[in-house]
Amino acid sequence: MARSVPKCKRAAYVYDRDFIVVDDISGVLKMRSECAIDGYGFLSSQGDIRNPQEIPPIINEQMAAWPDPRPIGQPVFTPSPDYQYFLFNYFVSDIDDDSSTFDATASVGLNAPIASIAWSVDGVYVTTGLTALLTMIAGAHDISVLLTDLYGNEQTFAFEYTQPNSGKVLELLFNGANGSTIIDSTGRHTPSLSPSGTRAIVGNRLSVASGGFIRADAANTVNQDFNFTGKDFSISFTMQPTVGGVTWIFKKTAQDAAGGGSPYLVFIGTTQLAFRSYNNQNIVTYTAPSTLVGVSTKVEIKRTGTTFQMLINDVVVDTQVYNEGQRAIDFSSQNYGMIIGASPPDGGLTGFIDSFIVYKYD
């Protein structure tokens, strides 16, 4: 009489330590923990030596008869696109006329220390470093930053940055070989020379004499960069007269023949400077304790609101408060220009001028 095979009672499935198998002897479902492994690596209910299972059983899709003997290799880790390798932190530590300095020293590598930070402006690589000086014209720019750690992991951060308008409208540095072309570093103007007199680059300075002068633009050219009506402004330069007298340093005019009707800075004798309105009223003045002849002196004339100041070597030496009606800067559009080194047809400076820079703040 055939012996009936009792069915194994099914136990609860435990995910972390057990799974259901088919016993290779009885053919009934059992939990793996209820089975033994014979000498060939196959599961049997009792590890029965009478049935060593030399021929492996047919394994159906729903069966799990023995452990996979193949060695387990290292898993390949593929991060999701939003995996964070870094925390990128930055602040703008300095803003200059045509550049901004970014400081990213507070950034953190989450997997490994940061190896490099590469900075690009508008898609063009600029520099690498924890701090970066990025040169930009005024306006909006796209900044991208590529961070790399010591394991070679990379991540890019992008943001928009607006470079402030510095207000610089003219910059004459007079750098170059003797007699070379005078260039406005802002690119806004094309300086021109007076018809006669000395007005040339000598030793990286402008040498003027014998009534020679230069213009910010072509002769009799009106330019709104020099419309200062109701505007804050600054005019700075370094001068070194070689003789005294009554000589004009600059005149805010677009007309070569403008003998009057324009604000100007005049050097008087050997110690005095006076910035005057278009109708010859003093606005700010300075009298040096000793001669300025043969001495390199930085001069700045500025207006903020209704406050005028003269600075000598970066020190305020005179402050006056005048509204537009009391000391108007511009008489008409004839004032929308700049002549440096003389006041045609009046006499001009004999000596040197350097770093002539004009700011206008709208």
269: pLDDT strictly greater than 90? yes
DSSP lists the bridge partners of residue 142 as 160
For 299-358, how does the pLDDT look when each residue is reduced to its tens digit (9 = 90+)?
999 999 999 999 999 999 999 999 888 888 887 888 899 999 987 666 789 999 999 999
Which of 92-96, 103-107, 316-320 has the weakest average pLDDT? 92-96
Task: Report the percent of the chain where pLDDT is more than 70.
Answer: 75
For 186-226, how does the pLDDT look when each residue is reduced to its tens digit (9 = 90+)?
889 999 999 888 999 999 999 999 989 999 999 989 999 99
Mean pLDDT of the chain: 82
Amino acid at 307: T
pLDDT of residue 342: 80
For 141-191, how does the pLDDT look when each residue is reduced to its tens digit (9 = 90+)?
999 999 999 999 999 999 999 988 788 999 999 999 999 999 999 889 999
For 242-254, how does the pLDDT look when each residue is reduced to its tens digit (9 = 90+)?
999 888 899 998 8
Residue 196 near residue 212, CB atoms below 8 Å: yes
Q: Which domains, from first to last, does the chain contain?
A: 15-66 (no CATH), 86-163 (2.60.40.10), 168-361 (2.60.120.200)
For the segment 106-113, the average pLDDT, to the nearest whole number, is 92
5: pLDDT strictly greater than 70? no
